[in-house]
């Protein structure tokens, strides 16, 4: 296996790559960005975050005190000058671009803001990289919804066409095309200051995990309903999604960034990081298990109100990441749900959420050690 070479020691060597590495994360105040910031801090990386304020209250960023573990810069990726100045000042070697408007429903309400953030934010980041000679690796985090969805029963591969019917999905498809254009025009050729930069895009499934408080997302909606002793209302119970714990794709991003650093543009391009086929489940399956794991008066009903378009069936083919990186999911969906519910129960039990979050990262790394030993 690429990440372990068959031993726990090999896995530790892979993680040692991050020791002292200077890393910029855009969108570090968001759900995935906060988890990645804490994990990289734990690996002794020098983390610089560039983002607007946390998008929700409460937020994982605030609860886990992420701002005390990283250099946190308040900034908007739509502000090209500010973003460039930050990269010029801190000179990161690795950049994870995660800043985005990430909600489908919100994209219907604010298509202009969605396109500005997800399209021009990507342009501004890649243009800044053109003018700063420190960056060697850029990983643009998009979405599985970047693909032109044909409602296929098989998974989408990295070379399938980009698309998107709703503004959010379309913006992510555009972000992919922009990344490809910059990569081929500037970075793979060495035209950017006569140096090559390894630029990749990553597409993950529906991530779950503690600390997600976004509106119109399944887990946060379930938690809010349960804590208010109300039914969980579900719009599309038979929609199938590739569910996975947030640490699964983040581990893939870490593995990929290391390979990009070693292999350069040869490993550039798109990469899928999704769950096993057996963990592509319906929303109905998910809420039934959430209700059972939580217990008490948790319950759900079908929402008969206004609905917006959402793809019914979506799955990723992750053969590329498995065969080249040796990456594969460590926790099945039931384990992921148990750990997610455990995090929220810790929060409502007034526990130290930095400790609780780091403990889950520890637990995941232990699983990695067991699986490669």
Q: Is the pLDDT of residue 334 over 80?
A: yes
Rounded mean pLDDT of the chain? Answer: 91
Highest mean pLDDT among 45-49, 203-207, 232-236, 366-370: 45-49
pLDDT in tens, 17-59: 999 999 999 999 999 999 999 999 999 999 999 999 999 999 9
pLDDT computed for residue 307 by the predictor? 61
pLDDT in tens, 87-111: 999 999 999 999 999 988 899 999 9
Contact 31, 250 (CB under 8 A): no
Q: Is the pLDDT of residue 5 over 50?
A: no
- So where are the chain's domains? 5-371
CA pair distance 313, 98, nearest whole angstrom: 25
pLDDT computed for residue 194 by the predictor? 52
Mean pLDDT of the region 313-321: 89
Q: Is the pLDDT of residue 1 over 50?
A: no
Contact 200, 267 (CB under 8 A): yes
Mean pLDDT of the region 316-329: 95
CA pair distance 359, 353, nearest whole angstrom: 9
pLDDT computed for residue 12 by the predictor? 59
pLDDT in tens, 183-228: 999 998 766 555 689 999 999 988 999 999 998 899 999 999 999 9
Tell me the whole-structure pTM to 2 decimals. 0.93
Q: How many residues does the chain have?
A: 373
pLDDT computed for residue 191 by the predictor? 63
pLDDT in tens, 55-87: 999 999 999 999 999 999 999 999 999 999 999
Mean pLDDT of the region 263-289: 93
* Per-state percent for the chain, helix, strand, coil, to nearest 5: 50, 15, 35
Structure tokens, 36: 């990645």
CA pair distance 303, 133, nearest whole angstrom: 52
pLDDT computed for residue 308 by the predictor? 61
Q: Is the pLDDT of residue 289 over 80?
A: yes
Q: Is the pLDDT of residue 372 over 70?
A: no
pLDDT computed for residue 236 by the predictor? 86
Mean pLDDT of the region 148-169: 89
pLDDT computed for residue 160 by the predictor? 94
CA pair distance 98, 31, nearest whole angstrom: 10
pLDDT band of residue 7 (cuts 50, 70, 90) is: very low
pLDDT band of residue 256 (cuts 50, 70, 90) is: very high
CA pair distance 302, 205, nearest whole angstrom: 23
Q: DSSP class of residue 144?
A: G
Those residues with Cβ within 8 angstroms of residue 218's Cβ, 6 or more apart along the chain or in another chain:
206, 208, 234, 283, 286, 287
pLDDT computed for residue 9 by the predictor? 47
Query: In b/e form, how buried is each residue of 290-318, taking b as 16+ CB within 10 angstroms?
Result: bbeebeeebebeeeeeeeeebbeebbbbb
Pairing type for strands 137-141 and 94-97 reads parallel
| Closest to 125 (Cα-Cα) out of 138, 136, 116 | 138
Architecture, CATH, for domain 5-371: 3-Layer(aba) Sandwich (3.40)
pLDDT computed for residue 196 by the predictor? 85
pLDDT computed for residue 248 by the predictor? 98
Owner of token pair 């929060």: 347
| Burial of residue 170 (number of CB atoms within 10 Å: 0-12, 13-18, 19+) | buried
Residue that wins the pLDDT comparison between 148 and 190: 148
pLDDT band of residue 239 (cuts 50, 70, 90) is: confident
Q: Is the pLDDT of residue 241 over 70?
A: yes
The residues that bridge with 245 in the sheet, in sequence order, are: 208
If phi over 0 gives left and psi between -120 and 50 gives alpha, with beta otherwise, what is residue 57?
A: beta
Those residues with Cβ within 8 angstroms of residue 148's Cβ, 6 or more apart along the chain or in another chain:
160, 161, 162, 163, 164, 173
How many percent of the chain have pLDDT more than 70?
92
- What sign for the dihedral angle of Cα 148, 325, 8, 250? negative
Task: For 31-70, give the DSSP string.
Answer: HHHHHHHHHHHHTT-EEEEEE-S-SSSS-HHHHTTGGGTS
Those residues with Cβ within 8 angstroms of residue 288's Cβ, 6 or more apart along the chain or in another chain:
300
């Amino acid at each position: 296996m690429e990440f372990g070479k068959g031993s726990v020691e090999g896995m530790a060597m892979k993680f040692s790559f991050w020791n002292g590495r200077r890393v910029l994360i855009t969108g570090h105040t968001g759900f995935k960005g906060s988890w990645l910031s804490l994990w990289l801090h734990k690996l002794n990386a020098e983390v610089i975050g560039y983002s607007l304020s946390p998008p929700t209250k409460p937020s994982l960023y605030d609860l886990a005190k992420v701002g005390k573990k990283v250099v946190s810069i308040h900034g908007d990726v739509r502000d090209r000058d500010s973003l460039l100045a930050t990269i010029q000042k801190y000179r990161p070697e690795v950049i994870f671009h995660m800043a985005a408007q990430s909600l489908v429903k919100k994209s219907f309400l604010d298509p202009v803001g969605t396109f500005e953030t997800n399209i021009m934010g990507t342009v501004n980041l890649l243009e800044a990289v053109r003018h700063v000679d420190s960056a060697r690796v850029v990983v643009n985090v998009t979405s599985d919804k970047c693909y032109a969805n044909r409602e296929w029963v098989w998974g989408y591969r990295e070379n399938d066409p980009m698309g998107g019917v709703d503004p959010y999905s379309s913006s992510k498809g555009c972000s992919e095309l922009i990344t490809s254009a910059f990569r081929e025009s500037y970075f793979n050729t060495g035209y950017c200051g006569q140096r090559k930069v390894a630029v990749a895009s990553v597409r993950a499934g529906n991530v779950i995990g503690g600390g997600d408080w976004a509106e119109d997302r399944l887990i946060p909606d379930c938690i809010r309903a349960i804590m208010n002793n109300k039914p969980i209302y579900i719009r599309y119970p038979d929609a199938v999604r590739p569910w996975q714990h947030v640490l699964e794709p983040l581990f893939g991003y870490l593995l990929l960034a290391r390979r990009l650093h070693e292999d350069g543009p040869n490993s550039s391009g798109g990469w899928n990081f999704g769950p096993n086929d057996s963990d592509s489940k319906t929303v109905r399956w998910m809420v039934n298990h959430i209700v059972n794991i939580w217990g008490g008066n948790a319950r759900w009903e079908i929402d008969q109100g206004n609905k917006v378009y959402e793809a019914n069936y979506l799955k990723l083919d992750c053969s590329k990441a498995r065969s080249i990186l040796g990456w594969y999911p460590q926790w099945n969906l039931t384990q992921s749900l148990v750990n997610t519910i455990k995090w929220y129960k810790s929060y409502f039990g007034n526990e130290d959420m930095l400790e609780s979050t780091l403990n889950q990262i520890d637990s995941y790394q232990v699983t990695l050690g067991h699986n490669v030993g």
